[in-house]
Amino acid sequence: MAVKLYFSKGEKMKKLLTLLVIGLLLLSGCSGSGSSSSDDKHISNLQIVFVPSRDADAILTATEPLKQLIIDEMATHGYTIDQVTITVSTNYEAAGEALAAGSVHVGFIPAGTYVTYQSEGVDVILAATRDGLSKDFENPADWNDGLPTIGLPEQVTYYRALIFAGPSEMGQSLAAKVNAGETLTWDDLNAATWCSGSTTSSAGYIYPSLWLSENYDGRILSDLANNIQTTGYSDTSARLASGSCDVGVGFADIRSDYEEYWKTPTTEIVAGGDTYGWGKTDMWSEVQIIGVTPGIMNDTVSVSANNPDVTPDFIAAFQASLIAIAQTEAGEAAIAIYAHKGYVVVQDSDYDSSRDVLELMKDR
């Protein structure tokens, strides 16, 4: 037999109020675990990785102020970040793999590295802008006037890779042919010892390979008889200076970045026992340009879709923060080592041309 409970009018009102309070408490508890929770905007250690396109120690020193700048700017978007850790990967692939694995939050990586790892959970959120250069010629001989390449105030979203001939006898013979208006043959290039970077480096491998492919019947860097993979552009420049490489590839214009190293006597030693100088004379005349690639999309700021801290809210906050930081004097100084001047929001489709280049090199 069913039992019916009867309440007085006052008891019914009390019952209704009790249920209402319980419902509000339950709703309050649910909202505490949502995206607006302060816990969701607390990151104990924001991990950022840079690629070794410059000397690792130099990158770490230059970007040290960026840590506090990020903490402070992200705080204006409601984020509490206890610390920021910046590392430099051993090579470009290692940076892409760290992002794909979710072991880092943010990576400053080239377009080639981004498109290589995009399918594994790496998302582009920003592209760097940089100063234009006083030289931006398609004819390599036009770069070889012996004068420094200087930055211009106009901002550009692309850069070029150059093929550099060093001061070795072989390097100078190649440069002499180019400056005389002669076309280099594959045999000319294949007789030289080359220095190139990681296989996902846009300026250190991919676009120089594209240049070779377009001019020498589909051949790329891996088809050369003697090609040494270096750890970065400082390594490439040092090997050009020593003559262990006749030809090197890199962004335009690495001579601006390494001119001081080039002309400093090798007897000068920096902390840690590394040789600072390479003991040469004038990098602008001793290193000549023998090839120029098409324009390359600027470096990316990419994030890991496999890191639980990287939410749409985090991405929006970090985009706004980094754009704002780059507009400050301290921020501009912190990112200058990569020749970045600012950042703009981009999307994956902006890198379709980079993806086409990688497709060209597939299975090579």
User: Residues with Cβ < 8 Å from 260, sequence gap 6 or more?
Assistant: none
Same fold, 41-131+298-360 and 140-296: yes
Q: Which one-letter DSSP state was computed for residue 228?
A: E
In whole angstroms, what is the distance from residue 322 CA to residue 73 CA? 8
Q: Which one-letter DSSP state was computed for residue 131?
A: E
**CA of 142: how far to CAs of 19, 135, 211, 253, in Å?**
82, 8, 17, 14
* Domains of the chain, residue spans: 41-131+298-360, 140-296
List per-residue pLDDT tens for the chain, 364 residues long.
443 344 444 444 444 444 443 344 334 343 333 333 457 899 999 999 999 988 899 999 999 999 999 999 999 999 999 999 999 999 999 999 999 999 999 999 999 899 999 999 999 999 999 889 999 999 999 999 999 999 898 888 788 999 999 999 999 999 999 999 999 999 999 999 999 998 888 899 989 999 999 999 999 999 999 999 998 898 999 999 999 999 999 999 899 999 999 998 876 655 444 556 889 999 999 999 999 998 888 899 999 999 999 999 999 999 999 999 999 999 999 999 988 999 999 989 888 878 888 787 776 6
Residue in the block written with tokens 């890199």 = 250
CATH architecture of structural domain 140-296:
3-Layer(aba) Sandwich (3.40)
Half-sphere exposure of 120 (CA within 13 A, CB side): 14
Which residue stretches of 76-180 are H helix?
Answer: 92-101, 111-117, 169-179
Helix axes 254-263, 233-242, angle to 10 degrees: 50
Q: Which one-letter DSSP state was computed for residue 197?
A: -
In whole angstroms, what is the distance from residue 176 CA to residue 195 CA? 20
What is the topology classification, in CATH, of domain 41-131+298-360?
A: D-Maltodextrin-Binding Protein; domain 2 (3.40.190)
